[in-house]
Amino acid sequence: EVRLLQSGGGLVQPGGSLRLSCAASGFMFSDYAMYWVRQVPGKGLEWVSAVSGDDVNRYYADSVKGRFTISRDNSKNTLFLHMDSLRAEDTAVYYCAKDGYTATASKSYFDSWGQGVGVTVSA
């Protein structure tokens, strides 16, 4: 069974940093691209970032480019999102998600999701 267990959310001041983690199990982690998607409470879904299975290719939404860094440790089956220079508009529930069929982080849907962690950016 595929499992994605997230950790690392919380309250942070504007301009601060936070690191999210997503521990994967139940599948060959390095065979699949992984993603971060966020959702402002009561609102829709916004793609944040993607990383290829080999951690070579990384992609970001314009809204977080230059501030967030996605990475993965395939030896530990863990995905990360390091968030710097956080803003109030980054406040959301953050989900990690698994690619539906490919390692290339391109043109795919998400077939498994983590439970989500809340990030609140406030003074």
CB-based contact 25:37 (threshold 8 Å): no
CA angle 98, 100, 106 (to 5 degrees): 90
CA angle 92, 122, 89 (to 5 degrees): 45
Closer Cβ to other proteins, 12 or 45, answer by number: 45
Distance between CA atoms of residues 66 and 84, nearest Å = 9
| 52, 79, 95, 121: residue in contact with other proteins (rule CB under 8 A) | 95
Contact region for other proteins (CB under 8 A) — 15-23, 69-77, 80-88, 107-115? 107-115
- Among positions 27-56, residues that touch other proteins (CB under 8 A) are 44-47, 50
Which residues lie near other proteins (CB under 8 A)? 44-47, 50, 59, 61, 95, 100, 106-116
